[in-house]
Every structure is written in C-alpha cells, then in structure tokens.
Amino acid sequence: MRSAIHINLLFLRHALLAAVTLLLLTSVAQAAGTDRSPTVLVLGDSLSAGYGMSEQESWVSLLRDRLAARGYGYEVVNASLSGDTTGSGLKRLPRTLALHHPSVVIIELGGNDGLRGTPIKVVRDNLSAMIRLCREAGAEIILAGMQIPSNYGSSYTQAFTAIYPELARQYRVALIEVFLERVALDMKLIQADGIHPTAEAQPLLLDKVWPVLEKKLRQPAKTAAR
C-alpha cells in the first residue's frame, strides 16, 4: 500500500513539474511573440529577388534601408525566387507565413505565368488562394499588378492585366497598379535580356511600392526627417 501511495505521489509530482514547465515555456513564447518586430514579407519572382545585381541593390533591400532611415521598426523578409510562378508561390506560402508571421505581405507574382501563357483562371485562382491565406494569418495584403507584352494576343493580355484590379476589388486589398509602369518602356532601365530592370531602376520600383505600403505601416514613435 505504501509503495502504491509513493508511486502516486511521484506521478503527481512529475505531472505538476511538467505543467509548470509547460506554463513557463508558453509564457516565454508569448513574450517572444510580443517582442518580435512587425515584418513586411515580399513574396515575388526575379523582379523582387534582384536578378542580375547584388542583393543590396534590389528594391526590397532599398525598402529595408528606407524603413530604418525613417524610424519604422519593421523587419523585411524577401521570400522572392527568380522564375517563381503563382503556383509555386502558393505552395510555399503557408510555411513562409508560419515562419515569419508577417504584418504585411506584398504579393509580386504572375509575370512568369503570363509569359508561359498559363490559363487566366489558374493565375486568378492561385492569387486568390494566396490572398485568403495571408488574410487568415492576420496580415495586410498588397497586390502588385503585372502586365505582359502585347504579342501574346490582345484577348489574353487584357484578361491577364485585369486579374489584379479585379482581385483587389473582390478582396478589398491594396493594389500597386502596374508594378513596372515607370521602367518597362525605358530600355535604359532594362537589362540586356530585355525583361529585367537594372539596378538603376530599383529606386523607381521602390517609389512605386512605397505610397501603397506606407498606408499599411504603424507610424514610428518619432518620425524621422523625410
């Protein structure tokens, strides 16, 4: 009998210790989550990955510098991959959201889909799914509008371009209208491949993103000189 009581006491003691340990770990995790700086996540393709230039020259890196210079306490995570499509972006988005817990997500995808002639419904459905995932994760969403060359046929080209404003209206998310608008027709700002913007074009891309993004940011405690 004594032995059974002793075993029960040991069990209760270990159970209590495990409960206290779990409580402490939960408190630490919650504190870490509270202390974490808000994050801007950029989910894009080569246009945001800095193709053909150093990482420091890309518009995403310039965004990181601007946020710091103006006193915004945001981290910037660049989850962009050259050659990425809406399909592959969708596949890796859940893990990316779980890993970084972003406050704002900039979705810059679809250009490669358009260049491959991916069916309009597929592109729209993939982007819709990404928007829903980001919203479920509690993130603000910014959609970067894409265009493709007119040699894909006017019907497909117009339908592709229309995807972005249509989704922005449907889901009431912010839209960067025609992300490459300020650089696409200036060949001095396009690399030799005729597709990718040069390093000199990156500040213009950032200036296209900034007015839309700034509305989604928490204002810094002390506003730095602009």
Query: Which residues are known to be catalytic?
Result: 46, 193, 196
Integer distance in angstroms from the first to the last C-alpha of the chain?
A: 78
Residue closest to 109 by CA, chosen among 185, 167, 172, 186: 167
Residue closest to 135 by CA, chosen among 159, 170, 162: 170
Q: Residues 6 or more apart from 107 whose CB is under 8 A from it?
A: 43, 44, 89, 127, 130, 131, 134, 141, 142, 143, 144
Amino acid at 35: D
How far, in Å, are 46, 109, 163, 195, 217 from residue 102 at the CA level?
A: 21, 18, 24, 30, 12
**Are 42 and 77 a contacting pair, CB within 8 Å?**
yes
Residue closest to 220 by CA, chosen among 33, 39, 106, 74: 74
